[in-house]
């Protein structure tokens, strides 16, 4: 008898016994309340046959307790039996149907199986392997001689929540195709793993590399040690992107069919003669401004009018880190104790192309004074010397500095600051 059938029998027996015991206890309780265990007065009504004693509830409770112990023992027995059926090298639960001793023979379209197998072996796995190798090499170099930090970092990239889907499907695909001896992965399972990787998880994994490069201030394209590993990944990545175009147009590959849409593996990377990457879009930080909110605002604060001018920063084509904003030059230049440049309080630790713009305060002025000041930290002493007369209008050069995986970034833009009669600040791009 199987464990499931035995469990069903025990479960039904327990249910029946609990129901019977409940009825007997209820009968006994009602009998005590109405005095059924005593002879009726005048003998006009017959008492229930037999006399209930206080031992009946104890017997019932003892029986139920014994049944519960028996049930627990049977449950342990069944689970141990199931565990004993597990054999070494058995597949994970729910994965058995994904593997076969001869998946090509079982495939309804053998040619399609051969093509998707070749694509996985020759394009997907090499690109993933090369990116893993590149990230490991970058971490090893950045960690230097500290082997403990290096080991923790290597472990960290393999257990990150950000890239767990990449690792799950990449390792399952690789194990199902490269493990020997053992069953191979079936046609449908290959497609499933490729679909999940293509659906942004492969790209998310290699974009993690950009974060590492920025954090460690390493240019992968020019670093003498890392450039060969990076070039190896670029070659494998480009081969993957090019080979996927006919795959996504072929209805035999089911969920991979996206004929009119670009793939999500990422753009093809091209390298010129001086080893610089040519991207499909310019890598820059846009400095945004328009003469309207939220770039120019007026509000009431503490019973006074406060006017503020701002700019917006938006990353284009790449991720930037450690972004800082300076007032680089002023004309005519006012007397400022700290001189120029002035580092503003607002910054952007990380600017990504898919993030919304970040607003940076430039300057502010109260309507009851004839001075404004730039949005920089004030010194604890003599802070009034940092205020600037609101007349005449002034030209200011705003400088943006940041880091990206291609190196240091810098950009300047010229604006005109003036104050109207109502003591409101205005900014105008020059």
Per-residue pLDDT tens digits of the chain, which is 430 residues long: 544 455 455 555 555 655 565 555 556 555 555 555 555 455 444 444 444 445 555 566 566 656 655 655 555 454 444 433 333 333 344 444 677 777 887 888 889 888 998 999 999 999 999 999 998 898 888 887 777 777 877 788 888 888 889 999 998 888 888 766 556 888 888 999 999 999 988 988 888 887 777 777 788 877 888 888 988 999 999 999 999 999 999 999 888 988 888 888 988 886 643 333 333 346 889 999 989 999 999 999 888 999 999 999 999 888 999 999 999 999 999 988 888 999 999 988 899 888 889 999 999 999 999 999 999 988 766 778 889 999 999 999 999 999 987 788 999 999 999 999 999 999 999 8
Question: For residue 103, what pLDDT is reported?
Answer: 81
Question: For residue 46, what pLDDT is reported?
Answer: 46
3-state secondary structure the chain: CCHHHHHHHHHHHHHHHHHHHHHHHHHHHHHHHHCCCCCCHHHCCCCCCCCCCCHHHHHHHHHHHHHHHHHHHHHHHHHHHHHHCCCCCCCCCCCHHHEECCHHHHCCCHHHHHHHHHHHHHHHHHHHHHHHHHHHHHHHHHHCCCHHHHHHHHHHHHCCHHHHHHHHHHHHHHHHHHCCCCCEECHHHHHHHHHHHHHHHHHHHHHHHHHHHHHHCCCCCCCCCCHHHHHHHHHHHHHHHHHHHHHCCCHHHHHHCCCCCCCCCCCCCEECCCCCEECCCCCEEEEECCCCCCCEEEEEECCEEEEEEEEEEEEECCCEEEEEEEEEEEECCCCCCCCCCEEEEEEEEEECCCCCCEEEEEEEEECCCCEEEECCCCCCCCHHHHCEECCCCEEEEEEEEEEECCEEEEEEEEEEEEECCCCCEEEEEC
Question: For residue 393, what pLDDT is reported?
Answer: 94
Q: What angle do CA 20, 25, 28 make, to 5 degrees?
A: 125
Question: For residue 131, what pLDDT is reported?
Answer: 92
List the chain domain ranges.
3-84, 97-278, 284-429
Give the global pTM: 0.46
Question: For residue 397, what pLDDT is reported?
Answer: 94
- b/e sequence 173-201, b meaning 16+ C-beta within 10 Å: bbebbeeeeeebbbbebbbbbbbbbbeeb
What's the rounded Cα separation, in Å, for the pair 270 and 276?
Answer: 8
Question: For residue 31, what pLDDT is reported?
Answer: 58
**Please, what CATH class does the domain formed by 284-429 belong to?**
mainly beta
Question: For residue 111, what pLDDT is reported?
Answer: 92
Question: For residue 342, what pLDDT is reported?
Answer: 94
Question: For residue 297, what pLDDT is reported?
Answer: 94
> 41: which 2 tokens?
């007065």
Question: For residue 66, what pLDDT is reported?
Answer: 62
Helix axes 110-119 and 227-247, enclosed angle (nearest 10)? 160
């Amino acid at each position: 008898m199987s464990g499931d059938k035995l469990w069903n029998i025990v479960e039904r027996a327990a249910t029946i016994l609990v129901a019977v015991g409940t009825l007997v206890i209820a009968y006994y309780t009602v009998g005590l309340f109405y005095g059924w265990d005593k002879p009726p007065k005048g003998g006009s009504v017959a008492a229930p046959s037999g006399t209930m004693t206080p031992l009946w509830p104890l017997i019932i409770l003892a029986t139920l307790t014994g049944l519960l112990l028996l049930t627990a023992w049977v449950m342990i027995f069944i689970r141990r039996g199931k565990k004993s059926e597990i054999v070494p090298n058995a597949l994970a639960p729910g994965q058995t149907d994904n593997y076969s001793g001869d998946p090509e023979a079982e495939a309804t379209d053998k040619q399609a199986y051969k093509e998707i197998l070749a694509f996985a072996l020759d394009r997907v796995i090499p690109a993933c392997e090369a990116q893993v190798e590149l990230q490991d090499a970058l971490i090893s170099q950045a960690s230097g001689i500290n082997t403990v930090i290096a080991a923790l970092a290597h472990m960290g990239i393999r257990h990150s929540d950000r890239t767990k889907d990449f690792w799950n499907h990449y390792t399952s695909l690789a194990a199902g195709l490269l493990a020997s001896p053992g069953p191979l992965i079936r046609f449908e399972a290959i497609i499933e793993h490729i679909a999940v990787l293509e659906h942004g998880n492969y790209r998310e994994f290699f974009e993690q590399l950009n974060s590492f490069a920025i954090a460690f201030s390493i240019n992968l394209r020019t670093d003498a040690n890392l450039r060969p590993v990076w070039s190896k990944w670029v070659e494998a990545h480009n081969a993957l992107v090019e080979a996927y175009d006919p795959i996504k147009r072929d209805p035999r590959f089911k969920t991979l069919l996206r004929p009119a849409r670009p793939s999500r593996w990422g753009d093809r990377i091209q390298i010129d003669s001086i080893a610089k990457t040519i991207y499909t879009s310019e890598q820059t930080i846009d400095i945004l401004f328009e003469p309207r909110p939220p770039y120019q605002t007026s509000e009431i604060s503490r019973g006074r009018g406060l006017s503020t001018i701002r700019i917006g920063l938006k990353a284009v084509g790449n991720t930037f880190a450690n972004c800082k904003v300076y007032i680089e030059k002023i004309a005519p230049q006012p007397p400022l104790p700290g001189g120029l440049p002035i580092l503003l309080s607002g910054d952007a630790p990380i600017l990504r192309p898919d993030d919304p713009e970040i607003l940076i305060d430039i300057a502010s002025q109260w309507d009851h004074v004839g001075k404004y000041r730039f949005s920089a930290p004030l010194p604890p002493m003599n802070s009034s010397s940092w205020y600037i007369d609101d007349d005449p209008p002034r030209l200011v050069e705003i400088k943006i500095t940041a880091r990206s995986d291609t190196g240091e970034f810098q950009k300047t833009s010229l604006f005109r600051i003036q104050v109207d009669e109502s003591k409101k600040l205005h900014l105008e791009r020059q």
